[in-house]
Structures are given as structure tokens and as C-alpha cells.
Structure 1
Amino acid sequence: MHETDYIIVGAGSAGCVLANRLSENGKHRVTLIEAGGSDTALNLTNFFVHLPLGYGKLFYNPAVNWMYATEPDPGLNGQRDHWPRGKILGGSSSINAMVWIRGHKADYDEWGAENPGWGWQECNAAYRAIEDNEAGADAYRGKGGPLFISENRKGLHWLVDEYIKACGQAGLPHNRDFNGAEQEGAGNYQMTIKDARRNSTARAFLRPAMKRPNLRVLTRAQVTRVLMEGRRAVGVDYLQGGQRHELRCNAEVILSGGAINSPQLLELSGIGNAGLLQGLGIPVVLDNPNVGEHMSDHQGINYTFRMKVPTYNDILRPWWGKFLVGLQYVLTGSGPLAKSINHGGGFFRTRADLTRPNMQLYLQAFSTLLPKAGERPLLTPDPFPGLSIGLSNCRPTSRGHIHIQSPDPLAHPKIVANVYSTDHDVQEMLEAVKYVRHIAAQPALAGLIEEELRPGPAVQSDAALIDDFRQRSGTVYHHSCTARMGASAEAAVVDARCRVHGVDSLRVIDASAFPNLIAGNTNAPSILMGWKGAEMLLEDARGSRG
């Protein structure tokens, strides 16, 4: 017998949930392996991890960030895009913008149509079990679960109300809960923030579980391959402190590295496109060309305005403003530092004949047009009152891919995003940016706006608007589907129970296993993957014992 039953690779949004649930009954020995460090070590970087608005300081910080970059993309006028991913306990839930969005009900019914157990009814029940929602329990929200969700109704910038009014004047009604009966509308976002601190999965799920003697957490340990005996996963190799280690397990290996690291690790372990693997000298365990393919992501852009009234720029830019909001945060746990910058937002349809929203909005009483290279200066915004209305597409049809380009496990994979590679995606983004201007032109906002700064009033024709969003837009960090779930290996990598097709004792449970991309931010459905994936593992373990 080996020293552990389950090995979980990656302590991110799904991995921390898995570690909690698999170790909960005390019957299983669980080892969680994370390439990054602890989120509780006493250092300045971790201060910004826990400070809600501090995530801007983590955007380009290799201490907690994998710092991925795409290949030059024709859809972005030949530019590379920066893809930050969390490299720390909590994964990307430790560096993200903390918006809690489940997605549309129809997204999950699409999942469940081919994958039993993943329909809306089952997923809604799981979300209600996960949540401790400040707004209280109802048919959609949960109360008493391990993850506190802030209702985020207090202390918002007053411009959020004006934005909601402007959306109403533009035909988009107020929606108090995007995770409720309907997704469409404008309102404020629920957040994974608790007691004025980031509520990552490390804080909500892993920290309580680490008190259990049957859970071991290894940090700064990078898994380099899954150990295979024939077509059965039996453990992993990993590097820690410059030394190679081997860890074997009695039950299963679970990859929870996310949409980049999980397909990378499958390919390094001989599972993927046989031609690619052979060309790199990697012995082929299983030929499945879907590994690393079907990559889906949301693309976003901001329209930015100079305002006639003060915004967060006015208080966060000067040194004395930083001092005041810092004092406010320390003394009262409130103020701009206690929140994400995306106070408001919404979902809308670019055409009336659509049955559900295809675009997401973000309202920021804030602007950062003048950043230094390699910086996202949320704590030092523009030196004038600015406001941004951002949007992202919910259901893009463009597909990219992620593949290793070297047998070296420490080398970054090649990321081809293929942004705006379909006419559908270009056309709906064109319709969407026109709607942003329509919102800004409504009476509630128009009188407060001095001028549009980006893209600016000179950009009017369809061709100019398209060129602008190709030049200025980029990922909103929702990469998924690269080890997608489906009924067979002909079009998928894992089955409905997250088991890798054609391989025993190996599962992928994270955003890479999404059957398709949901409409909205992906942290919530990644946590859902961990929650339901753990249920399936425990059910299968009970079944194997008869």
C-alpha cells in the first residue's frame, strides 16, 4: 500500500474543493500538490492577495502568477495577449476579480444533455450546497455552505446607481440577482469577499481541511508527469526544491491544474495527439487528439470616459487619497480597498431574437488608460476622473488550442487563442460596442460624461470599430474546455464522471473539463466542478468496495 489514496494536482478553484471533500470523512488519505507557495506566508505579495482591490498588483507578479502569453494573434492585429493564472494556494481564485456568476440555466442544460448529472437541476442543487449567500436562501441561492458570497450592496460608488438607471433607459432592466431566476439585466455583482478580505478557495475550503491528519499539502512542488502502468495512472513525478520525487497512490490521480496546466500534463504523460507527442519524443500512452483542443475564452474591451464628476481616480491617485482609503480599510474594513473594481455590470442580448444574453457588462467608476508597461495600476489610476464600461462576449464560436512545444515540463505550452476568428464573433462584438455607446448616451450618464476617451468620437464606422476592438480587447481570463467532457473520445477527453476516456484511475476536474463555456465568470463553475467531481469520486469509491 502507498502513502496516499488520492493525488490532486493543483490547489486552485477546483483542487481546494476536492481536497476538502475527499478528506472530510477521514477514510481517505489525500495529497494536494501545488506548484506555487502558500497564501498565508507573511510577505507583501500575500497582503495584496487578501486585499480585495490588491489584485491589480498580482496581474504581472511571477511570485503568484504563471504569466502565460499567447502566440501573436491575427484576431488581435498580431498582438500577443497576457494570460495571468494563479500559482499559489487558491490558484486563480487568489488573484481574480472575485465576481460570483454561475452562468445561464440553459448553459447547464446543454452540459447535461450529453453528460448525465450536469444539468441545471443538479448543478443548482450543488451551488445551493456550496453557498453561504449573504442575501439569504431561496430557490437559487444557498445559505450555510462553506463559501460565503457577499451580496455587495453596501459602499458602492454612487455612479453604479446612475449606470443602472442608464441601462434601464437603454432598455435593460434592473436585475438584483444575476444568479437567480433570470440572468438578463443590469445590477451589481455578488463577490467572493468575506469580512473585507478575498474569500478564495484556499481560505474557504482548504484552510479548514488542512487541520485534518489525512490531508497533506505540498507547496512549491511542480508535477512533471503522471506515472502510468499501461493505461492506468498510479502516481506522479514532481519537482520540489530542485529534487525529483515520485509519489504513488492507491486510488486515483486527479488533475486540477486548469485549462492550461491540465492538458499540458496529459500530453507530458503521453496522452494526446500521437503525432504531436511522437514528434517530441514522448512515448504515446493514448492517442486522443482532443487534448488541448476546443479552447474557449471570453474576450473583453473597455470604453472609457472622462467624467465631470469625481470617480475613484480622484481618491486613489494622490498619496493622501491612498492614505485615507488605507486608514478607512484598516479602521472600518470598508471603502474602495475592500471591494473589487467591478461593482456593477449585467447581461444583455445584441439582438432581440436571441433566447438568452450573449454579452456581459462591467461598470468601473475608475480608469487606467495610462499604465506603465507590465503593470495594471488599480491602486494608481489615471490623473483625471474616469469611468469605464466594459463588456465581454458570452458565447464565442472561435476556438483555440493549447499544446506542449517541448518535452521539458517547465517550459510553457504554446497557446493559440484564435480570437475573433469567426464572422459571428466579430459581428456580435460590433453590435455590442454600439450598445455600450447607447448606454453612455442615456440621460442618467450623458450629463455626467465630459468626453469619450477610448476609442474616442473619431471612431465611428463599422470598420473602425472592428479595428479598435481587435487592437484593444483581450482575454477576460475564462479559458476552458481544453480537456472537455463528452460521451466519447471522438470529441472529448473525459466522460461525465470526469474520467479520462481510455485510461483508468485518472480524472480531470477543473475548467478544462467544461463541455462548453458558460455565460459569465468562470470561478463559480470551476468550484462547482470540484464539488460535484468530489461527489462522483466518493460515490465511485463506495461502489468499488461493493
Structure 2
Amino acid sequence: MILPKILGLLTAVTVARVCHAGLLTDTAVVANKKYDFVIIGGGTSGVIMATRITEISKHTVLLIEAGVAYEDIPVTLHAPALGVRSGSQQPWTWNYTVVPQIGMENRTFTYQMGHNLGGSSYVYGLYTRGTDQIFDKIAKISGDNGWSWKSLVPYFNKAEGFLKPPSGGEWGPNDYKLTDHGTQGPFNTQLPMYPNDLDPLVTKLVATEAEFSKWNNDLSSGKSLGIGTSQATITKAGTASNVASGYLTPAVLARKNLDIITGVRATKLTFKASKAGPVASGVQFTPSPDVNVTTVFANNEVILSAGAFNTPQLLQLSGIADKDFLKSLGIPVVLDSPNVGQNLRDHVAMPMQWEANATTTLDQLRDPTFLANQTSIWQQTGKGILTAAVANHLGFFRVHPNASIFDSQNPDPSIGSDCSHFEMLFRSFITPSPATGFFTSMGIAFTSVASVGNVLINTTDPFASPLIDPKFLTSEVDIRIGREAIKTARRAYSSPVFDGFVVKEYGPNPNAMTDPEIEEMIRHSGTTFFHALGTAQLAPFHADVKAGVVNPDLTVKGVKGLRIVDASVIPVLPDAHPLAAVLAFAERGADLVKAAWR
């Protein structure tokens, strides 16, 4: 969340190691074994699937994770204000790089995705469910009402362990609705633990400025528009929430029907022939390119939960993709499935920055003495500035009705009239943080976008990164929405409410005022919000592989014994941080598996 160089200020790093009988690293222990279910990917979805399926004691499960175990991440990096959110180029993130983006001046940048047991649930810091209309659209696309908002609410709630704020604190009944949350789930969320100078100013902005007057008293209610108090992914202990620690409790790890192996990469799916077509029979994996592969077998199903990039990569390596594409790489065709790796969707992020007349922003963490003191406080009490959320307030907006940016050539990409076009995050820091000064920023996300990209391999080497091409800003309407978002953010921070706090705009280009100048700034400074999904999208049962990759029950079209449960199946972007949707999809996915194998 703060700049990566802060991590270098931590002079001593403590690593927690917890040994569990079911947590393995030696491939020989599982070689040639048969499990009822083999799950590839121990990230957000995979951990949930493994936990829920093994609730039925007769089902045996092997969970395969390429990254490190949760316990191998330094303890100090479990602090929400530091954590793996601080940057890429760490062993617990994948560090994939997008291909040069034509719509962004041919720039390239790193995707921060979790490479650890628990996956990107540890990378994300905010919890928002999105607008109900989007999930109703997913239900329509899939032909299954089970993916509608009303049907998914129980699964959102099943995953969530919302922590009610203490009485008499900063947050009150106008900041959340307990009925919009689950309180017994394994994954903790809560209102921000650490207040900042922006909090009263944002409240005053809502009270005094007509354009920003819509207050949303719970951003997870299914109605996203307006400004509201954020919900952070932070535990009661003041640590960053993670599905690994939330779901994989000591009792779960002690289950005799669950094995978990970390530090190994799945390289290929294996199949056997049948009259009905190919049947997934197992998985090959290895810890490194110079070690022979190990094979395990699945009696019932192989479940892919490797994420929006690695799931299509493994399908393509295994011969499931467009047949001509596979032939061009010399890969034998198991199934001609042209949508594999297509439909990549993500939110564009645009950082807007201002100098602040303050000394209490998170920029304080530059000071090694202050950081050391706060680290000690956090380690002893689970409190202090290191529990700070990504943002204490969020705003979801539609383009101003007077903007007139949509036309027949550039139609409105939002799914419904209740859906936002962009999000604003009111933040008390900028990143990277300059050596001196104090700052505030407005993180902007384009939440309704038209640009669609793809993920494709260009080699048969499973250790090579796939070619990730989100095709950001290749649609004119995305630029138009971005311009309006920036103008809106500037109007907000130009309000008299912020007089005395906001000094002047700092970056990325305070002088960009005309539409062409703002467009140039977006193309020069825009980046990803790390919200990739859609690369193995849902389609109705009656539709063939030309319509999508998986059926409504998440089984892969044209293949028996293969199911996908992760962000790649979600066909459209929620106007939200998608972690909540991934949690809910995984919880329902687990129920679908249980129902199929009673």
C-alpha cells in the first residue's frame, strides 16, 4: 500500500513457520497418488474449494500451490499498511508483466497477483460487492439464476466475517448496515481501524456539495452509487485478512482427507479418452524446470483455480484452446475451445495526487524511527498506523448527466443505470512517496470499461510468463469516462471543504486541463487496478464452446471431469473490487461440486 522502499527500512524480519501434517513440499510424498479431487491453485478460490469439499470426510483432496506458504511471508508484512500491497517484485507475488499497451503509449507494467497460499486475497485491501444489476446480468449471460444477486447474497455472507465496530468509536450506524454482511464467515472485513485527517472532510463534502451529496451507508448493499465508508480486509488482530489463515485453520489442516503441496507449478493436465470425449484424469507438476514432473490422478475431478492468467495458460498448455492457435505452437489439440484466454477484463487505475497541509498522513512511515516505533506498537497491540486501510472512504459515481460523452459509436458501457462509471478512493498517501512533504491522493478506477483483452501463451514452456494484453484504453469511451472521472476528482478537492488541507495538485500532471491534455495524461500515467477476470467465461448449458468456456455449474464445456472455479469464469467486471465476488463464486462453486458428488 505504501511505497515498496519502506520494506527496506525494516531492519529485522521475523518469519513465522508453522508445520502441519497436511502441508507438504516434497513431491515424492504424493507421486502417482489418486485423490477424488485435485485442485490447481491455492489462491482465494482454491483454498475455499479445498476447505469446503473436505468438510465431507469421504472426499480426498490435493491442493497444489505454486507459491509460498502463508507462514513463509514475513510477519511484519502482515501489517495492512505495509504488506504485499506495498509493491511487486516480491517472491509472494507473480510479477507478471503486460505486453506493451498500445492505448498507454506502449508502456508495460507489472501485475501484482498473489503467489502464495491464499493468493490475491492477501494483496487486496478493500471489500466491496458491487451493484446487484451486474450479478443479475451474469445470471442472464449464464442462463442460471443461481448467479443472480439474490442467489449469491448467501454466499457473500457465508464467506464474510464482518467485525462490528465498537460503540463510541469513529464509526456509527450511518457507516454500515449489519444486515448487508455475513458475520460468521472465515474471511474478516471491518470498517477502517485507523482514522485519518480526510475522514471529517469527506463527511463535510457530502454534507455541503450537491454533486457529492449522495451518502451510501453500506457499499456492499448491492447499491454502489455514492460516497461511503470503506470496508477493509483486516482481522480483529489488526492483520491483513487472508483466506489461508481464515479458512485453513489448524483443524482444517489436520483433516486426513486434505493434502496441500506448495512451491510446485502445474505444467499440464492429463486426459483419457472416452466415447463422450476427453476426460481429465490428473495433473503433472514440478518445483522447477530442471526437475522431472510428478503426476497425480483425480478420481472425480480436476478443479482449476489458478486465476485469470494461469488458468487459461494451463488450459492452452494442455491442448484446450483455439485449435489453430494450438497447432501453431505444436500442441496436440484435446479440445477446440476458442474462448480460452479471451475476454480479459480489468479496471484502469489513474492516480491523482495533491500536496497536503498535514503531518499525519501515511507519508510519516518514511521516517525509520517512526516506522520502528509503529511496528512495535502494531506487533504488541494490533493497533496503530500500520493498521491503516487503503482508503477510509470510497465514492462510486456515474458520469455527470451534462457530460454527453456517449453516442452511437461510443455507447455507455455500464451494465445498468445503478452501476458506476468510476470510483474515487480518498487516500492519505501517494505512492511512490517523495523524500519530503505530505500528500493526499484520489485513486481513480474506471469501473465500467469497454476495452477487452486476452491472455495467450507463446511457448510450450510452462515456466514462461503468458502474454497478458488487457488492451487498456483501446476503446474511445474508456478515455471519455476517464476524463470525466478526473474532472470530478478535481472538483471534489477544489471544494472549500478542503481549504487549509489541500495545498495544490501535485501529479501526475497538474497542467493538463483541456480534454486532449487530460487524455494524454491518462495514456501516460494510467495503469491496472489488478482486477483481471473473464478469461474462461461462463455460458449457458445449451451453448457450445463458441459462446464460452464453462457451463453454469463451472464444468468445462466439451471435457468431463474438469471444472474451473476462480475469477476467470466471471464474464463481466463488477463495478467493485472483485475479491468479494471471487469469494462468493468459490463458495457457490464448492456447493456445486458437493451436489455433483454426494
Q: Give the structure-2-normalised TM-score.
A: 0.85
Alpha-carbon shift at residue 338 of structure 1 (Å): 1.4
Equivalent position to 1:155, from 184, 194, 205: 194
Q: Show the 5 A alignment for 1:249-328.
A: 249-328=298-377
Aligned counterpart, 2:419: 356
Aligned to 2:220: 179
Cα deviation, 1:433-491, whole Å, max 9, x if unaligned, reads 10000100112113311110113442111000010011111000000000011112222
Instruction: Report the CA distance shift for 1:455/1:167 in structure 2 as closer, same or farther (over 3 A).
Output: farther
Maintained 8 Å contact 1:274/1:284: yes
Check 1:286–1:181 CA distance in 2 against 1; reply closer, same or farther (3 A cut). Answer: closer
Helix, strand or coil at the partner of 1:182: coil
Counterpart of 1:385, as a letter, is F
Kindly indicate whether the alpha-carbon contact (under 8 Å) linking 1:14 and 1:509 is maintained by their aligned counterparts in 2: yes
Shift of 1:48: 4.3
- Which consecutive unaligned segments of at least 5 residues does structure 2 have? 1-31, 166-176, 403-416
| Structure 1 stretch displaced more, 129-138 or 422-431 | 129-138
Q: Deviations over 1:192-224 (max 9, x none)?
A: 211111110101112342121100000011100
Q: Indicate if the aligned counterparts of 1:366 and 1:388 stay in contact, CA closer than 8 A.
A: yes
Contact 2:157 2:185 in 1 (8 A): yes
For residue 29 of structure 1, the aligned residue among 26, 42, 60 is: 60
What residue in structure 2 maps to residue 73 of structure 1?
101
Q: How many residue pairs align between the two structures?
A: 527
Residue 210 (1) aligns with residue 210 (2): no
* Residue deviations 1:322-377 (CA, integer Å, cap 9, x gap): 1232232133311221133322212111134944322111121112345xxxxxxx
What is the match of residue 269 of structure 2? 226
- Choose from 407, 424, 427 the match for 2:480: 427
* Structure 1: runs of 5 or more not aligned: 371-380
Output the CA distance in 2 between the equivalents of 1:527 and 1:411.
28
Equivalent residue in structure 1 for 2:204, among 165, 177, 187: 165
- TM-superposed deviation, 1:58: 5.6
Contact 2:43 2:119 in 1 (8 A): yes
Residues in 2 aligned to 1:326 and 1:251: alpha-carbon distance in whole angstroms: 47
Residue 373 (structure 1) aligns with = none
User: Is the 1:14–1:526 Cα contact (8 Å) retained in structure 2?
Assistant: yes
The answer (yes or no) to whether the contact 1:298–1:477 under 8 Å persists in 2 is: yes
**Which of 430, 446, 462 does residue 515 from structure 2 map onto?**
462
The Cα of 1:114 is off from its aligned counterpart by 3.0
Equivalent residue number for residue 14 of structure 2? none
Partner SS state of residue 344, structure 2 = coil
Aligned to 2:172: none
d(CA) in 2 for partners of 1:394, 1:383? 33
Letter aligned with residue 205 of structure 2: A
How far, CA to CA, are the matches of 2:366 and 2:245 in structure 1? 30
- TM-score relative to the length of structure 1: 0.93
Of 140, 153, 161, which residue of structure 2 is paired with 1:132?
161
Deviations 1:220-277 (A, max 9, x none): 1110011011311000000036331000010000000100000000001100011111
**What SS does the aligned partner of 1:142 have?**
coil
Partner Cα distance (1:6, 1:124) in 2? 27
CA contact (8 A) 1:97 1:340 kept: no
| Paired residues of 2:534 and 2:568 also in contact (CA < 8 A) | yes
**1:53-87 Cα deviation digits (max 9, x unpaired):** 22357622341111101111111111002112111
The 1:191/1:57 distance shift into structure 2, 3 A limit, reads closer
CA RMSD of aligned residues (A): 1.8
Cα distance in 1 for partners of 2:553, 2:538 equals 9
Q: Map 1:356-375 onto structure 2 (within 5 A).
A: 356-369=419-432
CA contact (8 A) 1:178 1:346 kept: no
1:13–1:93: 8 Å Cα contact kept in structure 2? yes
Change (3 A) 1:467 1:52: same
Tell me the distance in 2 between the aligned counterparts of 1:264 and 1:437.
Answer: 41
The residue type paired with residue 197 of structure 1 is T
Q: Which residue of 2 aligns with 1:141?
A: 181
State whether residues 212 and 227 of structure 2, in contact with CA within 8 Å, keep that contact through their aligned partners in structure 1.
Answer: no
Q: Offset of 1:400 from its aligned partner?
A: 0.5
Q: Which amino acid aligns with 1:429?
A: G
3-state DSSP class of the match of 2:62? strand
After superposition, residues 332-347 of structure 1 pair within 5 angstroms as 332-347=381-396
The Cα shift of 1:304 comes to 0.5
AA aligned to 1:30 is V
Query: Is the Cα contact below 8 Å between 2:454 and 2:469 reproduced in 1?
Result: yes
1:119 and 2:148 are equivalent in the alignment: yes
Aligned position for 1:375: none
2:238 touches 2:387 (CA, 8 Å); kept in 1?
yes
Q: 1:294 to 1:314 in 2, by over 3 A?
A: closer
The answer on 1:397 being equivalent to 2:425 is: no
Residue aligning to 1:386? 439
AA aligned to 2:372 is F
Shift of 1:31: 0.5
Moved more, 76-85 or 215-224: 76-85
2:131 pairs with 1:104: yes
Q: Output the CA distance in 1 between the equivalents of 2:585 and 2:162.
A: 19
CA spacing shift, 1:91–1:56, aligned 2, 3 Å: closer
Q: Which residue of 2 aligns with 1:377?
A: none
**Alpha-carbon contact 2:160-2:187 (below 8 Å) kept:** yes
- Write the letter of the residue equivalent to 1:235: G
SS in structure 1 opposite 2:300?
strand
Query: Mean alpha-carbon deviation: is it higher for 57-66 or for 517-526?
Result: 57-66
Q: What SS is found at the alignment partner of 1:53?
A: coil
Q: Cα deviation per residue 1:299-322 (whole Å; 9 max; x = unaligned)?
A: 111110111222424521222221
Distance 1:250 1:16, change over 3 A: same
**For the Cα contact (< 8 Å) 2:128–2:220, is it kept in 1?**
yes
CA apart distance, 1:181: 5.2
**Which of the residues 438, 441, 460 maps onto 2:494?**
441
Structure 1 range deviating more: 204-213 or 457-466: 204-213
Assess if the C-alpha contact under 8 Å between 1:369 and 1:382 holds in 2.
Answer: no
Residues 38, 219 of structure 1: 8 Å contact kept: yes
The aligned residue for residue 4 of structure 1 is 35
